[in-house]
Amino acid sequence: QDYDKGDFKHFMAKEIEEQPTTLKNCINEYVDKINNDINIYNFPWNIKEISSVTLIGCGTAYHSCLMAKYWFEENTTLEVTIDIASEFRYRKNRFKDDNLYIFVSQSGETADTYAALDLCNKNNMKTCSVVNVIESSIARDSNFVLPIHCGQEIGVASTKAFMGQMLVLYILVLKLGILRKDLDKDLYLNKIKDLKLLPKLVEQTLLTESKIQTVSSSFTDAKGSMFLGRGFSYPIALEGALKLKELAYVHAEGYPAGEMKHGPLALIEDGMPVVVLAPRDNYYKKTISNMQEVIARGAKVLLITNKSKDEVFSENIWETVLVESANDDLLPFLLTVPLQKLAYYSALKKGYDIDKPRNLAKSVTVE
């Protein structure tokens, strides 16, 4: 396939920069430009047949499942569970006919995710997959496929595919929300209008480059680091930590900010870099107060929040990175961008193999 790095040093850098385009392409595939409606053609089930959803994936794909759980709960009345494929497949599952099983996988070939899908198929469950590679085993064997349309991803650590998975899951959430009448029509239309602005907002957020580059050396040299967030920002904290582990080989823990007191606070030492995701959503005040707790214990806090007229009133923040503002649902996409860059530059400083980190594979086709 004709896919090269162009002017970029690494595929990962290229794939990060491509995101405004891949998101736009994907929105164009699903959103009707004229009616502001979402088109999901040939959905094989009657909406009344579905009363709950289970999302399953591995690695980064699992994080998009967790993200989708928050969106489903916010925008629909569906009951939602999520699972890691290698756990789901060995547990005693209570299969339910009115449950939709959604498998998320960039490659569509991950062995555990496939096995989980196979198990559901053998139990005659409703299966749907969110994949990048449409010729894959997972796509082939699921009842219904939602492609993420982001083009080939070469970097082992997923970037544009993560964004694509979140996008398609969010689109599905809105569509099910309106079909089930959980979402009010005006709200639905407004959310679609906002969604169309997302590629531009991601493009603007990509410009946070230089600050991230500067702070990355603190992460490179750290013994460990932490990524904190609440609510919609919690899955992104997990993903940010995973990216840093995968690429820069630095121990990184993603944690719900409110859980810090129950253990991880003991790990905070003088000078430890801690990323705090605190967009100005409903959790903002709570997260800022958790941030103050870690600062008081000596952490060097990199605060990532969205632009606003009001400054953040808190002392001793080491660095702040501002992403664009958007409605709460969309902030996770914007918070993801600086975290991708943080991992990238941390690995770059060490001279590690960014596109092929040690011990990892793009697609894990063995158990």
Contact positions vs ligand G6P (CB under 6 A): 58-61, 105-107, 110, 113, 156-158, 360, 362-364
Catalytic residue among 96, 350, 356, 362: 362
For residue 172, the minimal CB distance to ligand G6P (Å) is 17
Query: Phi and psi dihedrals of 308, rounded to 5?
Result: -160, 165
Token pair for 23: 């998101």
Q: What is the CA radius of gyration of the chain?
A: 20
Q: Which of 216, 209, 259 has its CA nearest to residue 234?
A: 259
Residue with tokens 């490659």, as numbered in its chain:
107
For residue 84, the minimal CB distance to ligand G6P (Å) is 10
For residue 363, the minimal CB distance to ligand G6P (Å) is 5
For residue 50, the minimal CB distance to ligand G6P (Å) is 23
Is 48 annotated in the active site?
A: no
Measured from the CB atom, the residue of 74 and 118 that comes closer to ligand G6P is 118
Distance CA 97, CA 336 (A): 35
Residue with tokens 């544009």, as numbered in its chain:
160
Q: Which of 59, 40, 58 has its CA nearest to residue 50?
A: 40
Measured from the CB atom, the residue of 157 and 201 that comes closer to ligand G6P is 157
Beta strands in the chain (DSSP E): 31-32, 37-38, 52-57, 79-84, 99-105, 126-131, 144-147, 224-229, 251-256, 273-277, 300-306, 319-323
Measured from the CB atom, the residue of 108 and 231 that comes closer to ligand G6P is 108
Distance CA 246, CA 214 (A): 20
For residue 136, the minimal CB distance to ligand G6P (Å) is 8
CA distances from 37 to 149, 175, 193, 308 (A): 18, 9, 10, 30
Measured from the CB atom, the residue of 23 and 150 that comes closer to ligand G6P is 150
For residue 162, the minimal CB distance to ligand G6P (Å) is 8
Measured from the CB atom, the residue of 280 and 356 that comes closer to ligand G6P is 356
Strand 319-323 versus strand 273-277 pairing type = unpaired
Distance CA 301, CA 17 (A): 26
Measured from the CB atom, the residue of 322 and 364 that comes closer to ligand G6P is 364
Amino acid letter, residue 177: G
First to last CA, the chain: 28
Q: What positions carry a catalytic annotation? A: 362
